[in-house]
Every structure is written in structure tokens, then in C-alpha cells.
Structure 1
């Protein structure tokens, strides 16, 4: 079951990347531009989350 969920997730990510590439070329339909926008937004959210988790904690370990 876990393998199925991960496979679907990978396919969604690949599909999103294809839509970003298609939209960047300029000849994508409206739905593909929407998927590309959602993919780019998701990547920005993931990047900001990973940046905030790597930020140094206040306080000292001395």
C-alpha cells in the first residue's frame, strides 16, 4: 500500500514538472498553466519549510 502511495506521489511530481516545462514554452492550455502554478507554489512552500527547519535555534548548548 505504501508503495502505491509513493508511486502516485512520484507520478504527480513528474506530471507537475512536465506542466511547468510546457507552460514555460508558452503553448500550454489553461489547465496546464494552473497545474504549473500549483507545482511552483508547492515547491516554494517546501523550500521555505526546509529553510525554517534548518535555522539555528535560539539558546546555547554550552
Structure 2
């Protein structure tokens, strides 16, 4: 069951990439809409999967062992 879902997601990603590629080369109007949706979904996934940034700008560097 999970393999079927993963294959379906992979096929959707590949189809979206193909539409982005085709739309960039002047494809039909519907490919531009699908390409915009694909790029938006990719940006949303990038933001959602980005690691948390809390504490990264606290002024201390964890790599130096705390001796500043």
C-alpha cells in the first residue's frame, strides 16, 4: 500500500517537472498553470521541511566549544 502511494507521488513529481520544462519552452497554456502549481508546491515543501532556525543567531558558536 505504501509503495503504491510513493509511486503515485513520484509520478506526480515527474509530471510536474515535465510541465515546468515544457512550459519554459512555450508549451500550451495549461502547462503554464501546472508549472506554477508545481513551483509553488516545491517552495512550500522547502519552507515546511527546512530545519528550525531557533538559536542559530544566539551569538555563540557550538563548534568552538564555547570559548569565545
**Which structure has more helix as a fraction of its residues?**
1
* TM-score calculated relative to the size of structure 2: 0.72
Partner of 2:4: 4
CA-atom RMSD, angstroms?
1.9
Larger of the two Rg values belongs to structure: 2
**Matching residue of 1:17:** 17
Correspondence list, 1:1-62, <5 A = 1-26=1-26, 28-51=27-50, 53-57=51-55
CA distance in 1, matches of 2:52, 2:21: 30
Unaligned 5+ segments in structure 2 are 56-68
Number of positions where the alignment pairs a residue of Structure 1 with one of Structure 2: 57
Query: Higher relative contact order by CA 8 Å / sep ≥ 6: 1 or 2?
Result: 1
